[in-house]
Structure 1
Amino acid sequence: MKLNLKTKSCFVILFALATSAFAQINPKFKEIHHQFYGQWPKTITFNQKTGFYKADTLTRSQTWYEAGIFPNLFRIDFGDPKDGNAVIYRGDTTYNFRQSKKLKPAVNPNILVYLLGGMYFETLEQVNQKLTKDGFDMSKGFKGIWKGKEVNIIGVASTDTTKSQLWYDAKNHYLVRMTQQNEKSRLECQFEDHQKIGKIWHEGNVKIFVNGKLVQTEEYHDFKINVDLNPDFFNPEKFGSWHWMNK
């Protein structure tokens, strides 16, 4: 294809913009993404003991059964799967079920599915675009200490509790803290008790805060990777036809 001078100039500008955007990604985040890119297991399953809190007091608990096919399929069954209470995440769309009845779908992406696995199936440029859109400034970062260990903090250049940010263990590169700030609320997740399985690390406990108040805790059990999962399990139109626990 023969290019005229004007067309060549456009290509040069587009290349410069793309190169500039890539260069602006924090070097430590590039390192983290590189470590797990293409190494993350395609599927996971686990169950968790979920605690619900109000005014710092545990009000009830429930067992959840969870499974995912990365990068963007995830399902949670609340309580006994036979009761038909569940949620299916398919990319940015969420499908809720109550007593096996499908409710109206909603645009409600689960950012944790992306941060805790999904992003390692996409290129660094794609991850940068996604997380920037979600409010994280991927060009900024600095070192800090979290619970006695060194961490790399991505999203801010210095201590700032008003901005969205990701905190990664400096040695093993697993996520230990996430805060996402929007106009009305601040979501914070803390990830603890990491264990290595295969080439990845997975959290054993999670604490979730909204506007500084503890609202939920999660204790993970029986975490497995590369499980044979039927894609129909994540198909809202085939809900109830198959379950990974009793396949």
Structure 2
Amino acid sequence: MVDNSMVCTPHNIPQSVYVLLLLENSSGLFDIWPDLRDRYLGPLLQKIEVDNSSSPVITFVLESLPANSTQIKRPIVPRQYHTSHDGLLSVRFNDSPSNRLTYSKIQEAAQFITSKIDANGSVLRHIVIAAASPPLEETSAEPESGFPPGTSCWYRLADYLAKADVRCHLMLKSGQDWEGLTNLFEEMLQLQQITEDKTMAIDMHKIIVRLSSQRKSSQRDNKTHGPGNSGA
């Protein structure tokens, strides 16, 4: 369960900042990795560090599949780095045809980042998802309580992350159907009542970038919004 007393607000300087980089480390992402790392991921992570220069910023890296492995034999533990630069340099790829993100992997990453707290004060959390192919959506064995029947799994996840005030950022290879992750991102903007940051220059022919800002949306921008009814 998320401890909302530790959530950072605009008037409360965070004592700690946690960033989780969740990567589909497949051959598909490898093809665009230099651009993705140098033009998009690097500047985003550096901006987070600069914007929070008075607080320690801890970066975690979690890949969809360990390097030199064809399957996950045990839960993958995110690796911790004290600079985003070191985290990006640590990324290794796996060309297994089955290597891609799943809803479950993203959910586990969400549980990890929301578990990060600071006993001395508020925290700020970011999750950055980079992928080359749409994540697989596994059907939940049991419906989650508290949501109407048929509620989208992406809405449930957005609700979970929004309650922890996690900022979500997407960096995705162009030319794919990103409905699930797009729904996650846009639901979170609505639930958190924040705006999308569109200041980064993007080559849309290669990469789709969706960034959350710290700026609250105006009441005029807010629309009546409810749980999505598509998906698992």
Question: Larger relative CO (CA 8 A, sep 6+): 1 or 2?
Answer: 2
The structure that is helix-richer by fraction is 2
Q: Say which one has the larger Rg.
A: 1
Q: Structure 2 length normalisation: TM-score?
A: 0.30
Q: Structure 1 length normalisation: TM-score?
A: 0.28
